[in-house]
Each structure stands twice: as structure tokens, then as C-alpha cells.
Chain A
């Protein structure tokens, strides 16, 4: 494979007009490929205690999903909350709605769940059974909330729509409530919200946390979620639900992603406390000062450091823009798309660089790109030994998945500095370089 040719296929950030069309994959043959929305739905249902996920799909889809959940305490292991209705040739010809109804009856008989997410996959969506109607009928018949979640992968690029659609489906569980003054957290996928700085700050300010979707809540907490004064949306996947709640229950929302730039974090805190009608907590200026001081100390060292960006817990373009503002040089960014909220960050990146843009989750051909771009750092998941052989250090950021607030900035900087040191060692011939 020729890295130069691969790069010729790609557009740079400044050339992207329609992200869906202009952000190309490096190759048509991908490995491992993106995760599917079925997995995203599983990630979401895992966090909803008392809810069952009923997969409607092929043996293969059901097998891999169950396989993923078997060792999870949250799921209840082998006997747990992930079940399936597998479809065969007969179901493709004659439909599988009846089979799902039979399975639902068995489930009601055995498990008595508080809610059921009927998650459809590619094939049932192609054959066109009406699972919204099936879910509605099951809800009416058994008095147990049942929601259809559609996770056909051929209509989307990765697993995130599966998470988004599952938590959006929870809207149907919600009932009008008296305002209680607390907040809901929507869109936290990784880590425990309780462990974040944002959670601590809210608790210190006397703000109670109500529902956390999908990171850990009960069906009852979802039902009472409209009691919240504000919804905190910590990832784009929470936006559709937050918008619905705003429209139906009048609940305002604040977008508070895993921002890395202290200025963005400060704006999010100000916005949040303004909706809560509370003064900004005294601890915040000191937290901001510490984050900015960490950046000041790292800036000179990081200046001119080149990197490629893969899959991290952070907001892709916001993180790249922040690193660019520290003098770092993005050479290639793997991204699934650019949304309206990214506009400012795109401009910040373009001030000093114009990186190549490509779709994520196709690591095989990247090794040929390394030979052309020679980045010092790679942020995201890759085979570390392969990177080392190319003189590149991997920046591990997974722990950032459990962070929100000013704590993100020093963590990211610490990881960057550690990896930069490793990169220099590798280039000197040490550390398996």
C-alpha cells in the first residue's frame, strides 16, 4: 500500500464542505470497521437497571451481543437482562412479529422486567416488520413499558446512534413531575458520573443528581426525570432527548461535553449555574487556575509536536483545537463527522494547520500513513508495538472517559507529556523503537 496515494484520496479540514461526502475512508476494505449501533444500544441498556434488552436479529448479532454481556455484573451475566429473538429464513419470508410476541410472553413469565427495549437489527429493518407497533401492543397487553429501538447499521456510521436512540426512546417512560431543583445527566457513556469533578461541584453546591442516562439509573428514575430543573448533556448523543424534554416538559439543557479547553469548561459551568439560579461555586476559579497553569507549563514542551488523532473519550475537534492552541500540529484526524457545534473549533484548528481528515476505525492502512507523516504521537486505540516500530508513542486517554470539568485538562496534558517523552526515547532507539 502506498501511503502517498492514500493521502491523495483524502481531503484536508479546509476542503470539507459536506462532511458526509468529503470525509473519506482510507480504504474500501476496512479492519476492524466501526462498531455497530446494536452494540451502542447494549451500552445504553446496560446502565438502566431493571430494563431488559430484547435483540431481534440474526444468530450472529445476538451471539456477539450476548457474548459481550456475559461477564458483566450490570447485565446479570449469562442469566441476565440481555435476551434475543433470533430470526431464520421462515421469519424473513413471513415476518417475525409473532415470534417476538411469543418471546415477549415468555419473558414476562420469567423475568418481570420494569421495561423492555426491543432492539431491531439490520435484517428485520430490511424486511420491514413494524416493531414500533409490536412494542406498543406489548406495552398495552402486559402493562410493562416496551420501546422499539432501531439499530440497522447500514443507515449510520458507528455505534453512537444506537446509544442515542436508546436513551431517546426513554422519553416515552417519562411523566410530568413537580420541579425538584436537581439535574439529570444525559449522555455519559463511560465511567461513573459520581467520580467526576462536575458531580463533586454539584454536590458541594447542594444540587441533587436525578436520572443518569445511560450511565446508571433505574426505570423509576427515568420516569421521574422531568422533575429536574436542568438537563446536563455531556455528549451529543443526549441532545435529541434533551430537546424533546425541553419541548414537552420545559426542562432547559446545558451542553457540558468532555471539553479540554479551560475556557470552554468555564463557559459550561457558568451556563449551568445560571440555569440553576445559583452563584458560581467558590472552588471553580481555583480549579480553572490549576488547569491553566498546567497548560502554561506544558505549552513550550508541546510546541511543534505532531500528532494523529484517533478515537478518544474527548470531543474530537474541540480537543484537536485545544492542542493546536498549545502549538501542537495535527496531521491527520479520524472523525465520523463534523456538526454545527464544531464550527468554532474547526476555525481554531485552521489558524495554524490544515490536517487530513478520514473516517475512524480502519487502523490497518494507517501504518502506511505513518511512513509519510511521521507523527510523534498517536491519540487513541492502535497496536502500541506497531506504533513504536514507526517511532510513534501512543497517548492513552481512556481514563478521561470518567472525567468532566477542569480535571480533563491536566489529565490530557499529563498524558501528552508522558507520551512525548516516550516518543523521544523511541526515536533515540530505546523502548522497543
Chain B
């Protein structure tokens, strides 16, 4: 099980980078070989992230590796500070600097008096786990280090904690939550951590009325904000019609408001319609409706519940990343670290509804029905920001394929 044939899991460092690159006014300086930075442009470009004047590398030479000379980094930090005047420079380790034991914190402490920007070291070089660890640590770091303490609240505002551009349809999901929150309660978005935000907004995050935690990796950050800023939080993500209504009601309970009756009525009606599919399932003679889900933990869990409500048994719920950084995970959701295990499982699927990534799609027979809910993207690009997986719009989109799936069953 040592061979990786397809794309390996993005590392903690990659998750950290794609999170930090969404923060305007800050600059990232990587202490590592230049080739890694150059190579990353392909993926970050695909994720829609701007890098110019935001991401720099120092490069590393043999003498730096052998002698532990960090003067190259010290000079680069002074230079970026002088040339770009960022408020914050995130000083990010590389696999090389982590292995040779470079003391990034020490370098930052030493250089800090000589620069105007605040230096924040991030010492993970890619060996502490997959991207889920990286985004968790980034959210927590931002909450601890960048958010100003405040008890004052801006009325009718909310933050989203747990937006990750590595997740499929992240931006569309954020926009769907924004729409739902407006329609349900008249609340507006303050900051999404970490999507198209800036240091000023992050500093002021504590003033939002409520924090919506859409993935577990952001829970430590939410608790930090609760302690620092008395900011209440709600954990969960709106998948499916009933799931969206339940989620809205849990938010309403936290903020002491009722969900807009019109939206509530519409969601109830759609949830009821979706349950009609149970009847189709019972009429089948040859097949049992079943689904294979592979993706981010909350998507797998939430969409699994949505399908289950329609009589499609979510038999395989596989998280795309390690469950270790999560605080609790349902038994039904598994993590399969070995590619070969997933390959063997996928090769046995027939007449199954597959909610997964493009790699999975390539590994199953043509008699399965596929909806993309996860990265990596191989057979498609991600352009639309009005096609979420979350909310009733996401549920509508999935229903279209569910209808097609039932047509393949007998």
C-alpha cells in the first residue's frame, strides 16, 4: 500500500498556504527551495488564488542546508517589508527547513525589531498530516493572533469559520450561506475565514453577532473567539432541504430569532417532496438505491443524510482527509488512507450513486451515476459561483442527478 498512483493528499502546509493566500494586506515568505513555490502556481491558479506580490520564496542553497545559515531569510524579510509594506508577513516553513530544524520562531524574533510588519512564523513543513491539519492550525492561529479582543457587537452580522478554497464549490457555498442568512434572519456577512478576506476584517471579527462554523477544523478558532470576544458559535453545515432548515433553526435558536416563515415553508415543502423518492425505491425489483460519498467530512455527512432521507442508502461515506484533526466523527464516516483500498472498493460498485471526486469517477464502471462534490478537479474546471453544494440550491442541483439515478435502476 506504499504506491501512490493518483494525486496524493495535499499536505498541512498546502492547506495552510491556500488559506493564508486569501488574506489581503499580508504577504507569505516561504523559507525553502524555489521550485516548490513555482510548482504551486498551477494548483493555486486552479483554485482561483492570486499570488503575485503575495507569495515569495527565499530559495535554499546547499550551504544554507548544511550550515543552517538563515541570513537569506533575514534579508528577504527585510526586503519584503521595505518594498511591499505589508501589515503582516507570514513566515512559512518548507519540508527542507523543517527537516534540518530551522528555528523559524527564533529568526522572526530576531528580525522583528528591524521590520515594521508583524512577523508570524508557521513552522509546519508538510509532515504533520494532511491539509485538514493545516487549515485547522491556520484558523486557530488567526483567531489567537490576529483578532482583536472586543465585547461590542455589530448588530445583524455573522462570520463564517471554516471556508476552505481547497473544498469544491467553497465560494458558491459561502454565497449560499450569505443568501440564506439574509433571507432567514436579515443578517449580513462580516468575514469568511478564509475566503477573500483581509487583515482588517479579521481583526474585527470579534464584533460579529454570531460565528457559523461550517467545518470542525474551525472549532478551536470558534472557541478562541468565544473566549476573547464573547462571540457565540453554531457548528454545522446546511446540506439538503431538511438539513438546511434544521441548520437555520439551530442558528435562529442561538441568536434568538425565528426563521423567516416563507423560507421555512418553502424548505419544508421541498423536504417533503424529496421524501417521495422513498416510494420509488420501494417499487424497484432488481436494485436497491445506494450511494458512495467521498469528500470533506461535513459534505459527506450532510449529503449522506440528505440521500438517506430519500431512501438512498449512503453505504460508503468516506472522508477525503484524516479524521484525526476533527473533535468527533460519526462512525458511519470513514477515512481510507490507502489509495488501493479505495480502488478495490470503487471497482466493485454498480448502479450506485457516486458523490465524489473526478478520480473516483475514473475508477468506477459506467453503470454508476456521478455527481462531483470534491476536489481534485480533473475532468472539469470550477467557474460558477452560483452552484453550491450547500443550501436548498445545492439540494436542487443534487436532486437533478438523483432523478437521473433512479432512471438507471430497475
Q: Is B220 an interface residue when CB atoms closer than 8 A count as contact?
A: no
Cβ contact within 8 Å between A64 and B40: yes
- State how many angstroms separate the Cβ of B86 from the closest Cβ of chain A: 11
Instruction: Give the residue among B1, B5, B11, B340 with the most A Cβ atoms within 10 A.
Output: B5
Digit string of B276-295 for contact with A (CB within 8 Å is 1, else 0)?
00000000000000000000
Q: Please give, as numbers and ranges, the residues of chain B lying within 8 Å of A84 by CB-CB distance.
A: 3-4, 8
Cβ contact within 8 Å between A154 and B3: no
- State how many angstroms separate the Cβ of B91 from the closest Cβ of chain A: 11
Q: Please give, as numbers and ranges, the residues of chain B lying within 8 Å of A99 by CB-CB distance.
A: 2
Q: Please give, as numbers and ranges, the residues of chain B lying within 8 Å of A30 by CB-CB distance.
A: 34, 37, 56-59
Q: Is B368 an interface residue when CB atoms closer than 8 A count as contact?
A: no
Whether A127 contacts B56 in the complex (CB less than 8 A), given A33-B37, A63-B14, comes out as no
- State how many angstroms separate the Cβ of B332 from the closest Cβ of chain A: 27
Spot the interface stretch: B75-83, B182-190, B191-199, B225-233. B75-83
Q: Please give, as numbers and ranges, the residues of chain B lying within 8 Å of A88 by CB-CB distance.
A: 127
Cβ contact within 8 Å between B378 and A153: no
Digit string of B22-63 for contact with A (CB within 8 Å is 1, else 0)?
000000010001111111111100000001110111111110
Q: Please give, as numbers and ranges, the residues of chain A lying within 8 Å of B83 by CB-CB distance.
A: 1, 27, 365
CA distance A144 to B79 in the complex (A): 50
Q: Please give, as numbers and ranges, the residues of chain A lying within 8 Å of B38 by CB-CB distance.
A: 32-36, 361
Cβ contact within 8 Å between A122 and B75: no
Instruction: Give the residue among B3, B75, B359 with the most A Cβ atoms within 10 A.
Output: B3
Instruction: Give the residue among B10, B58, B99, B128 with the most A Cβ atoms within 10 A.
Output: B99
Q: Name which residue of chain B comes closest to A91, CB basis.
A: B127
Q: Is A369 an interface residue when CB atoms closer than 8 A count as contact?
A: no
- Size class of A's contact patch? 35 or more
Spot the interface stretch: A101-109, A212-220, A396-404, A420-428. A101-109
Q: Is A94 an interface residue when CB atoms closer than 8 A count as contact?
A: no
Cβ contact within 8 Å between A36 and B36: yes
Q: Name which residue of chain A comes closest to B5, CB basis.
A: A83
CA distance A68 to B395 in the complex (A): 33
Q: Is A60 an interface residue when CB atoms closer than 8 A count as contact?
A: yes
Q: Name which residue of chain B comes closest to A27, CB basis.
A: B79
CA distance A67 to B34 in the complex (A): 18
CA distance A401 to B14 in the complex (A): 33
Q: Is A189 an interface residue when CB atoms closer than 8 A count as contact?
A: no
Digit string of A106-145 for contact with B (CB within 8 Å is 1, else 0)?
1100100000000000110011000000000000000000
Q: Name which residue of chain A comes closest to B359, CB basis.
A: A78
CA distance A159 to B38 in the complex (A): 11
**A33 touches which of B59, B62, B64, B82 (Cβ 8 Å):** B59
Q: Is A85 an interface residue when CB atoms closer than 8 A count as contact?
A: yes
**A122 touches which of B33, B58, B77 (Cβ 8 Å):** B33
Cβ contact within 8 Å between A85 and B60: no
- Size class of B's contact patch? 35 or more
Digit string of A22-56 for contact with B (CB within 8 Å is 1, else 0)?
00000111111111111100000000000000000
**B36 touches which of A1, A60, A126 (Cβ 8 Å):** A60
List A145-164 residues whose CB lies under 8 Å from chain B. Answer: 153-155, 159
Cβ contact within 8 Å between B8 and A66: yes
Q: Please give, as numbers and ranges, the residues of chain A lying within 8 Å of B14 by CB-CB distance.
A: 59-60, 63
**B56 touches which of A29, A35, A361 (Cβ 8 Å):** A29
Digit string of B111-124 for contact with A (CB within 8 Å is 1, else 0)?
00000000000000
Whether A155 contacts B62 in the complex (CB less than 8 A), given A35-B38, A35-B39, comes out as yes
Q: Name which residue of chain A comes closest to B32, CB basis.
A: A122
Whether A126 contacts B6 in the complex (CB less than 8 A), given A1-B83, A60-B13, A92-B127, comes out as no
Q: Is B96 an interface residue when CB atoms closer than 8 A count as contact?
A: yes
Q: Please give, as numbers and ranges, the residues of chain A lying within 8 Å of B11 by CB-CB distance.
A: 58-60, 63
Whether A123 contacts B3 in the complex (CB less than 8 A), given A35-B35, A35-B39, comes out as no
List B64-104 residues whose CB lies under 8 Å from chain A. Answer: 64-65, 72, 75-77, 79-80, 82-83, 95-96, 99-100
CA distance A61 to B7 in the complex (A): 11
Q: Please give, as numbers and ranges, the residues of chain A lying within 8 Å of B9 by CB-CB distance.
A: 59
List B330-377 residues whose CB lies under 8 Å from chain A. Answer: 340, 358-359, 362, 376
Selected A-B contacts with CB under 8 Å, 26 pairs: A27-B76, A29-B56, A30-B57, A31-B53, A31-B56, A32-B34, A32-B51, A33-B37, A33-B38, A35-B35, A59-B126, A60-B10, A60-B40, A63-B14, A67-B7, A68-B39, A70-B378, A79-B6, A84-B4, A86-B4, A123-B95, A126-B65, A154-B33, A155-B61, A155-B62, A364-B53
